[in-house]
Structure 1
Amino acid sequence: MKSMFLAALLVLFAAPAFAADPTVPVQEVINVASGNWAAANATDDDVFSDDRLKRLFSVDFANAYRAASKHPAFDPPEGETTGSPFDYDPIAGGQDGCNFENIRIEDDGDGQVTALFNNRQCFGDDPAYKEDRVLIFHMKTENGRQVIDDIYPVENGNSSSSIKDDLKTIAAQ
């Protein structure tokens, strides 16, 4: 009886630990973006769909995205008033790219997860095309789950402007 009680406690406390894995939302974002750039059978999924904004991103990030989407980079489809505020793919880092290769997701601790992948290799043999795209995801806990609060692309070895700050700048226009 005592061992069953201990086992039940272990299950109760282990479940939140697994649910709080900060790499899970990052993995989904990278998988969606990777699918959009696949060489064969590419998808057309929105990394920042309403469902993903609710499940994977912090309330602050989601609000920044929704406010910025009122200033779409391109004319939205007939009857719609919002659209993507970006004129490029902020995960892939451009308007052009290749399929994602050598994807790695690393929990750096202290609320940071790093995603690394190569998505320029199809451009040629220049050494710059062999370098990884690096994104640092700042995570936080909201409602008992890990969510993405911001994304920092790394350029030339340094963290560049935050995507959430870019969204807030777009929304302020």
Structure 2
Amino acid sequence: MKSKLFAALLVFAAGSAFAADPTAPVKEVINVAAGNWAGETASDDDVFSDDRLKRLFSADFAKAYHEASKHPAYDLPEGETTGSPFDYDPIAGGQDGCNFENIRIEDDGDGQVTALFKNRQCFGDDPAYKEDRVLIFHVQTENGRQVIDDIFPVENGNSSSSIKNDLKAIAAQ
């Protein structure tokens, strides 16, 4: 009897260890964005690369991004037909910013993951520059893995326009 109970507990523990972590895709997105704002050592890595859209985002989000990318924010080099639909960094929340500091990723449960970080502190001493940038990620299970279905920036204490809805609006132009 003890061996059956032990075996059952071992199987349960192993299954729990392999349970999908809803923070994992959010952590990768935030780490890539933070790397792009790392001052002199900044990378130029696309948060919304084809690889990441396939691995980290839902099929619906990826579709919205691909459709919106047919309406790039900037003129494209000769021969290219798609580009970033954003004229700003939607993770950092602007065209200008500072190194990401004090990054925290919190699993709020029910498919909601919150990312908080500071990325305006190099602008000066104004208290607004000391506030966290807050993003609420909606994460869901799709094809057995956790993926980001939408991102909601929080502004003035309220979640603002959904990035997926923004992409759909750009695509509808």
With the length of structure 2 as denominator, give the TM-score of the two structures: 0.93
Alignment partner, residue 119 of structure 2? 119
Aligned residues: 171
Paired with 1:4 and 1:110, the residues of 2 have a C-alpha distance of: 31
Paired with 1:77 and 1:109, the residues of 2 have a C-alpha distance of: 43
Letter matched to residue 39 of structure 2: A
Paired with 2:7 and 2:159, the residues of 1 have a C-alpha distance of: 48
Instruction: Answer yes or no: is 1:21 the counterpart of 2:2.
Output: no
Letter matched to residue 38 of structure 2: A
Within 5 Å, give how 1:115-154 maps onto structure 2. Answer: 115-154=115-154
Give the unaligned 5+ runs of structure 2: none
Alignment partner, residue 11 of structure 2? 9
Paired with 2:4 and 2:101, the residues of 1 have a C-alpha distance of: 50
Letter matched to residue 13 of structure 1: G
Paired with 1:44 and 1:6, the residues of 2 have a C-alpha distance of: 48
CA positional deviation for 1:13: 1.6
CA positional deviation for 1:75: 1.2
Give the unaligned 5+ runs of structure 1: none
- The runs of at least 4 aligned residues of structure 1 exceeding 4 Å deviation read 1-8
Q: Identical aligned pairs, as a percentage?
A: 81
Give per-residue Cα distances to partners, 1:103-132, cap 9 Å, x unaligned.
000000011000000000000000000000
Letter matched to residue 171 of structure 1: A
CA positional deviation for 1:144: 1.0
1:34 alignment partner, SS class: helix
Letter matched to residue 74 of structure 1: Y
Give per-residue Cα distances to partners, 1:132-151, cap 9 Å, x unaligned.
00000001100111100000
With the length of structure 1 as denominator, give the TM-score of the two structures: 0.93
Paired with 1:14 and 1:104, the residues of 2 have a C-alpha distance of: 23
2:103 alignment partner, SS class: strand
Give per-residue Cα distances to partners, 1:27-47, cap 9 Å, x unaligned.
000000000000231000000
Alignment partner, residue 95 of structure 2? 95
1:40 alignment partner, SS class: helix
